[in-house]
Amino acid sequence: MNSDVLTVFADMIAAAGLGTVGTNIFIGQLPAETNGIYLVRLGGTMNSYLPLEETLVDVYIQNINAQTAIQTAETVKRTFHRHLETGSDDQFIYTILAFSNIDDLGRDQEYGKMYKITFGITHRSRAIIS
């Protein structure tokens, strides 16, 4: 299996005890009426001569309870900012850095409180040999 870096990051968030992938941690979109975390790829860069990539990821935290939402956002930020050398069988992650502090996005249409943190993940696919 060739896991995308977002899948690996979602699995790391779940391993930190912040939820379960597919239940309250999602990639791309949070289902309606669901409290949880979702990750969206913003883009990034690739190195021309080395197999390194930097992927920018927005991590959104939504919860109907504002206190729970901000506590979860703080935990995500503290757990993963400056996280070093980890990964999966398919992806090696060199660093994870928070590029933003916690942004307050107000409330969504379902009145869930929304926060966002942008992370930069420097990684490489283990399938690429250089």
CB-CB contact of 130 with 51 (8 Å): yes
CB-CB contact of 72 with 89 (8 Å): no
- pTM score: 0.88
Which one is predicted more confidently, 22 or 127?
22
Question: With 80 as the cut, is the pLDDT of residue 130 above it?
Answer: no
pLDDT in tens, 12-27: 999 999 999 999 999 9
DSSP for 92-104 reads EEEEEEESS-PEE
Boundaries of every domain in the chain: 5-125
CATH classification of 5-125 is 3.20.20.450, yes or no?
no
